[in-house]
Chain A
Amino acid sequence: MSARWTEFCLSAAAVGIAMVAYGLVGVATDGAWPAGLLAYGGGLGALVLVLHLAVRWRAPFADPLLVPVATLLNGLGLALIHRLDVARDGSFAERQLVWSAVGLLLTVVVVVVLRDHRWLRRYTFTAMVVGLVLLVMPLVPLLGVNINGAQIWVRVGPVGFQPGELAKIVLTVFFAGYLVTARDTLSLVGPKVLGLQLPRARDLGPLIVAWLASLAVLVLERDLGTSLLFFGLFVAMLYVATQRVSWIAIGMTLFVGGAVLAWSMFDHVQARVSAWLNPFDAEEYDRKFGGSFQLVQGLFGLANGGLVGTGIGEGRPQTVPYAESDFIIATLGEETGLTGLLAVLVVYLVLVERGLRTAVAVRDGFGKLLAGGLAFAIALQCFVVAGGVLRVIPLTGLTMPFLAYGGSSLVANWMIVGLLLRISDAARRPAPAVPEPEGTPVVPDVAGSAETQVVRL
């Protein structure tokens, strides 16, 4: 079976699973399959079909797992949000469905319009400027909105948006473009300290700038998650570009320094940490702001879900504040159990690993960095969100890609899938049958190094 038929069948299965999940909400709460089930499945299916056809047309060699995996997560998220709507009489699911449509259609646009991902490299410094503007936007008076203490929203008319989610893509483009140019300089060897080969001091500049920018996000927008995401992303991409472990060491040192600094300076950071360390203390649990109530309620939900879950529609995930966004993982774990949660984590892992595999396979350095960066951004975001809910790390404010309620996040993540589709198409496209020049071997792309076509992961 060709890759495209694989994609078609898996996407159909993903829509099917999402429909079953959606239908079970009705069965559990009303005792009957919901009336809107076919419309829901048909709508989601039609959108995915459009994307599938666009991929067939413009990216026929693209990785066949990306679309089904994103569809499955998006569809499951819709079912869970709908489930919470039923419990709370809300209308989040309708809005999320609209944003899903927007996200899918923008992905179609990315696949159709962006014929070659290397075009993006030309806009490296435009991306930097746009990225910074997006990051700063929420701080602009009249434009930015403070929601729950974090200054990360922009409101234009009726539409609220988190520009940080888009900035994630744009800045990855910038990082990739900048690093592919600067990697040779940044890889130069500096002094050796404690057996670790350090870079030259003058090359520390970009890392320091990224660090300061992340701290600025933390301080000015009070957004722990985004700050952590950007810095982690930059360090990871720096490492991929230079192959120098020392960059990771320096990055971790700066991160720890920044974390300690943030902890000592800000009450809200301290509150998050103490709520993480002792969530069951009555003092933390009962604290009005920044306490552990939400975290503990999420853990209760997960515990009551147990191994197999209560069943979709049978639990009480609405007990947890923000169950549809920051705590969608708790909703999922309560109603589908450890089984469902592990399955979804594996699905995320598949998505990330397909992205990294694309990075390994693609020939140009910019493509490698872009695909690797985008895939790692998804992984890091999953880790920061799910780790917060599962008490691996303190809670920050990010949303689970595709699954959680939130238009900006959903649209941005679909666009990431679009970019990965485009890069994977380039990576998997068979080399054109160029007549081999006599005597001279084919010179591989500079960045491709020795193992161009060997895909091992």
Chain B
Amino acid sequence: MNAPLRRLAMIVTAMFTALMVAATWVQFVDAGRLRDDPRNSRTLYEKLGRERGAITTADGTVIAQSEKVDDRYQYQRKYPKGDLYSAVTGTFSVTTGASGLEAAEDKYLSGTSDRYFFRRVSDLLTGTQPSGAVVETTLRDSVQQAAADGLGNQQGAVVALDPKTGAVLALYSSPGWDPNALASHDRSAAAQARAALEAEDSEPLVSKATRQSYPPGSTFKLITTAAALESGDYTADSLLDGPAELTLPQTSRTLANDDDRPCGTDGKTSLADALRVSCNTAYASLGMTLGQDVLREQAEKFGFNAGFDIPIGVAASTFPTGLDGAQLARSAIGQDSVTATPMQMAMVAAAIANGGVVMQPNLVRTVRGRDLEVLDAPSPDERGRAVSRQTAASLTAMMEGVVESGTGRRAQIPGVSVAGKTGTAQTVAGAAPHAWFTAFAPADDPKVAVAVLVENGGNAAQEASGGSVAAPIAKSVIQAALAAPSSGSAG
């Protein structure tokens, strides 16, 4: 019986080998994925027990930090600026997890990044309490404050970018919300605060700057213009038909100008003038002439039809396929099913300001460890070229016309040439239109590009237009950005 007993011993060894291989798989090979699973509460507890790194603006304002408290979570996350930066920081909650930068930069903030490996080993050996890294954003406090002040109690969003680097100078969604309430260690208080925010019609938790997309209205004419100039068949001086109204193909419906009058003298207008006065009929027929594929490709070069991370997630702006003639005409003026996030429209202005090259928007300037050593410093990243340098220059001149003598006059700044475009986007029948303004300045050496959206006209309601409601906000944000000292290479 000894031969089968020896074989049994081999079988037993094989069984235990299988267990050891499985243990190695679970605890070593696959462990990273299991630790990162959002259902793994241990990872959360582990993070909570470590001092989480702060989040600051480029000019040193602390917008999130951890304070030692005497409860089982050890550290309480605090947001000294409250709702001003809620669309950026998100919150770090023990009950519902993290959102915003707290989630996107979690590996650094919590100190679990692979770049932290040697630090963790040395902490283990020296017995030092491990701590997370500090994330310094590209935001500038004065610009962010100007955005919030400009919107006031109106619902909407402001995004300001450095056109040359893609650095985000301001990112504000109104109404803001208090991340402190959601980060409470009192589970029921945190849950109540979240439920109250979720019950609000204004959906404050969904950032209007990055997660919501809206019909861009006439600001989309920048893209239609870009497509026309890029086609080589048009210049700023090309003459277009601009009747008071246009019958849409295969329908009995019409598309009219805002003032129900023809554009230019005897219904003929140059492309530059059409942009300056935001002539709907001229752009609708221009769009139909160019065709939906040309428009869509131009929109995609600016960033449409793709979501991306900055590193918080930005929803995709859309220019759909399969449009019929009427839909195409309306899409060319930023209506119908074309939608854009304020971040996207800021990118359009920034790309024109940057000679046609789209820079990847980015919120993170540096990540520094406890000894201030730089763990990460993203360098400016080109997304690609949207238009040629000549087209960009031509568009810039046309946009300057909009602010000098067109619909965007309320964005004028003494001594600074501002290039901009208004938008007054129809929403559902009867509702007040969304007011848009996107701009950059100074036109000859752009330092800042902004997009402002005021939902449903804000306080002006039905009387609202992009020029009257959104342009003044853009103006004050640009002024704040130009007044603030430049934050150097990354900012």
Interface residues of A (CB under 8 A from B): 236, 239-241, 243, 280, 285, 296, 299-307, 315-316, 319, 333, 337-338, 341-342, 345-346, 348-349, 352-353, 356, 359-360, 365, 368-369, 372, 375-376, 379-380, 382-383, 386-387, 390-392, 447, 449, 451, 456-457
Contact = CB atoms under 8 A, between A and B. Distances in A.
A18 to B, nearest CB: 22
Contacts of B9: 353, 356, 457
A352 B9 CA distance: 8
A341 B6 CA distance: 26
B230 to A, nearest CB: 47
The 4 lowest CB-CB distance pairs between A and B, nearest first, are A303-B34, A390-B22, A303-B31, A338-B27
Pick the most buried of B26, B27, B41: most chain A CB atoms within 10 A of its CB. B27
B1 A368 contact: yes
A380 B12 CA distance: 8
B69 interface: no
Interface stretch (B42-50, B92-100, B402-410): B42-50
A203 B316 CA distance: 72
Contacts of A299: 26, 34
Contacts of A296: 39
B379 interface: no
27 contacts: A236-B8, A236-B11, A240-B4, A280-B37, A296-B39, A301-B42, A302-B27, A303-B32, A303-B40, A315-B42, A338-B28, A345-B16, A353-B12, A356-B5, A356-B12, A368-B1, A372-B1, A372-B5, A372-B8, A382-B19, A383-B16, A386-B19, A387-B18, A387-B19, A392-B18, A449-B2, A456-B6
A348 B12 CA distance: 11
A316 B42 contact: yes
A248 to B, nearest CB: 9
A447 B13 CA distance: 25
A303 B26 contact: yes
Contacts of A240: 1, 4-5, 8
A303 B12 contact: no
Given A379-B15, A390-B19, A285 B39 contact: yes
Contact of A365 (B1, B23, B32, B37): B1
A392 B26 CA distance: 11
A341 B1 contact: no
Given A319-B41, A338-B28, 19 more contacts: A301-B42, A302-B31, A303-B35, A304-B35, A306-B28, A316-B42, A349-B12, A359-B5, A368-B1, A368-B5, A372-B5, A375-B12, A383-B16, A390-B23, A391-B22, A392-B19, A392-B22, A449-B2, A457-B6
A304 B42 contact: yes
B49 to A, nearest CB: 10
Contacts of A280: 37
B97 to A, nearest CB: 15
A382 B23 CA distance: 13
B20 interface: yes
Pick the most buried of A300, A315, A375: most chain B CB atoms within 10 A of its CB. A300
A239 B16 contact: no
B12 A341 contact: no
Interface of B: 1-6, 8-9, 11-13, 15-16, 18-20, 22-28, 30-35, 37, 39-43, 45-46
A360 B10 CA distance: 13
Nearest to A293: B39
A345 B6 CA distance: 20
A178 B374 CA distance: 74
Contacts of B24: 338, 342
A322 to B, nearest CB: 17
A239 B4 CA distance: 7
Contacts of A352: 12, 16
Contacts of B45: 316
A329 B9 CA distance: 23
A457 to B, nearest CB: 6
Contact of B16 (A306, A348, A356, A365): A348
Contacts of A375: 12
Given A348-B16, A349-B12, A303 B30 contact: yes
A353 B5 CA distance: 10
B1 A447 contact: yes
A303 B28 CA distance: 7
A350 to B, nearest CB: 10
A300 B12 contact: no
Contacts of B8: 236, 239-240, 356, 372, 376
A241 B1 contact: yes
Contacts of A342: 20, 23-24
Contact of A360 (B5, B18, B20): B5
B1 to A, nearest CB: 5
Contacts of A285: 39
A307 B43 CA distance: 16
Contacts of B37: 280, 300
A103 B42 CA distance: 36
A280 B40 CA distance: 11
A333 B27 contact: yes
Contacts of B15: 379-380, 382-383
Given A319-B41, A356-B9, A390-B22, A243 B27 contact: no
